[in-house]
Amino acid sequence: MNWYSVRGVFAFGGERVTTYEERLTLWQAADVDAAITLAEREAAAYAADLDGCAFTGLLQAYAMNDAPGHGAEVFSLMRDSALAPDDYLSGFFDTGAERQGTSGG
């Protein structure tokens, strides 16, 4: 059994603005497909428990090299872009609309 982190994206609908939540969950599973299956079930239950929440269907899995522990890498996603670093960060990660440091759910 290996450890996998799975990133899921959820949408909370509003009248004019939709809030999107990205969650990382950890799973111990035989392979990546089994981890995705576990994460899909949990994502459906998570969304069902929250008013106005919908699971977008997006799951991205990452096979961890080591068991979770202090400083362990739990997710990595690489993306090619022609954007300069400041433009890339502003476009994808620092738009000004983030709610950082808050607990989800």
Domain contains 99: no
Residue range(s) defining the domain that contains residue 35: 2-64+74-92
String of b and e for 10-30 (b: at least 16 CB within 10 Å)?
beeeeeeeeeebeeebbbebe
Domain contains 103: no
Domain count, the chain: 1
Distance CA 40, CA 33 (A): 10
C-beta separation of 39 from 22 below 8 A: no
What is the pLDDT confidence band of residue 1, given thresholds at 50, 70 and 90?
very high
List pLDDT tens digits, range 39-95: 999 999 999 999 999 999 999 999 998 889 998 888 888 888 888 888 888 887 777
Give the chain's largest Cα–Cα span: 44
More confident site: 85 or 27: 27
Domain contains 98: no
